[in-house]
Structure 1
Amino acid sequence: MATRQKTRSVLVIEDEAEIRNFAFRVLELEGYHVLKAGNGNDGLKMVKSSREIAMVLLDLRLPGRDGWGVLQEMKKDPKLSGIPVVVFSALAAAWQKKKALTMGAAGYLTKPVDAASLKKAVSATIHQKGAISACHPGNH
């Protein structure tokens, strides 16, 4: 399965290096090609300039343009709106999850997240290209 996924690219937009590198390691071991951005502006530039990104894993609290702004920009751009975004945030209030999903996020992972939940969310998002309600723990 890992070989088949190698062509799938995931962009991780996360300002905390430890979390960004954790996601990188977990997803690389699963066979994904992982791109990393440390802020919203760089992440948006990367998603706009690459045709290979299969999905985006997006933190909400970012320097520069925050995750809300990145999500909004992606969903209003016809060239980017089809790229699924899974929000990956420590913000855990029900209204924040609902807002992200209403804005077009494919799912919501609450940090801290374990490797199994991260792998499941990414796999479901890439392979189903739809809502992954079973993959965002704590959203009951």
Structure 2
Amino acid sequence: MAAVTQAVARPTVLLVEDDPDIRGTMAEALHDEGYEVAMAINGPEGLRVLSTLAGPCLVLLDLEIPRLDGRAFVERLREDARFGETRVVGMTGEPGPMLPGAVELLRKPIKLGALLASVARHCPGLEAGKPPRSSAQ
């Protein structure tokens, strides 16, 4: 009898980051942890990509992105009923207060462990469908 394999949906994270090195490193680490990663390089593109996703568990948002900064991005996000409950984790290298509308603020440079812990906190339920991590880690 043949084994039946059932596909398990991986939680999706939208990563809005303009620095290609940071974006690539974060996306690879998140993918290795079992997340689908959608990416954007600025605010308007982030909103466009978000509108194409079916229920992302989290938006990782650089606050100093071009064309529409992180604060304006969150304001627009909260105005759209489809995304009113979408969790946002802000990322910044600048000092300052918590981003209104965000669930957490990570200070750059972000350590990999802190990034993964934050995403795990805000994207519950991954463990049940998480593929095994590679043995190279």
**Structure 1: which 4+ aligned runs deviate by more than 3 Å?**
none
Distance 1:105 1:123 in 2: 16
Q: How well do the aligned residues superpose, as a CA RMSD in angstroms?
A: 1.8
The TM-score normalised by the length of structure 2 is: 0.81
Distance 1:6 1:12 in 2: 18
Q: Which residue of 2 aligns with 1:65?
A: 68
Deviation at 1:15, TM superposition (A): 0.4
Please say if residues 9 and 54 of structure 1, whose CA atoms lie closer than 8 Å, have aligned partners that are also in contact: yes
Deviation at 1:125, TM superposition (A): 1.0
Q: Quick one: higher RCO (CA 8 Å, sep 6+), 1 or 2?
A: 2
Distance 1:6 1:124 in 2: 18
Classify 1:79/1:110 alpha carbon distance in 2 versus 1 (closer, same or farther; 3 Å): same
Choose which of 77, 89, 108 in structure 1 pairs with 2:105: 108
The equivalences for 1:3-14 within 5 A come to 7-14=10-17
Q: Which residue of 1 aligns with 2:53?
A: 50
Q: Which runs of 5+ in 1 are unaligned?
A: 129-140
What percentage of residue pairs aligned between the two structures are identical? 29
Q: Which residue of 2 aligns with 1:125?
A: 122
Q: Which residue of 2 aligns with 1:136?
A: none
Structure 2 residue 88 is matched with structure 1 residue 85: yes
Larger radius of gyration: 2
Q: How many residues align?
A: 119
Q: Which residue of 2 aligns with 1:132?
A: none
Please say if residues 24 and 34 of structure 1, whose CA atoms lie closer than 8 Å, have aligned partners that are also in contact: yes
Q: Which runs of 5+ in 2 are unaligned?
A: 1-6, 126-137
Q: What amino acid is the match of 2:21? A: E
Distance 2:101 2:67 in 1: 21
Q: SS where residue 15 of structure 2 aligns?
A: strand
Please say if residues 6 and 31 of structure 1, whose CA atoms lie closer than 8 Å, have aligned partners that are also in contact: no
Deviation at 1:115, TM superposition (A): 0.8
Deviation at 1:5, TM superposition (A): 8.2
Classify 1:127/1:18 alpha carbon distance in 2 versus 1 (closer, same or farther; 3 Å): same
Distance 1:42 1:19 in 2: 17
Q: SS where residue 68 of structure 2 aligns?
A: coil
The TM-score normalised by the length of structure 1 is: 0.79
Please say if residues 6 and 32 of structure 1, whose CA atoms lie closer than 8 Å, have aligned partners that are also in contact: no
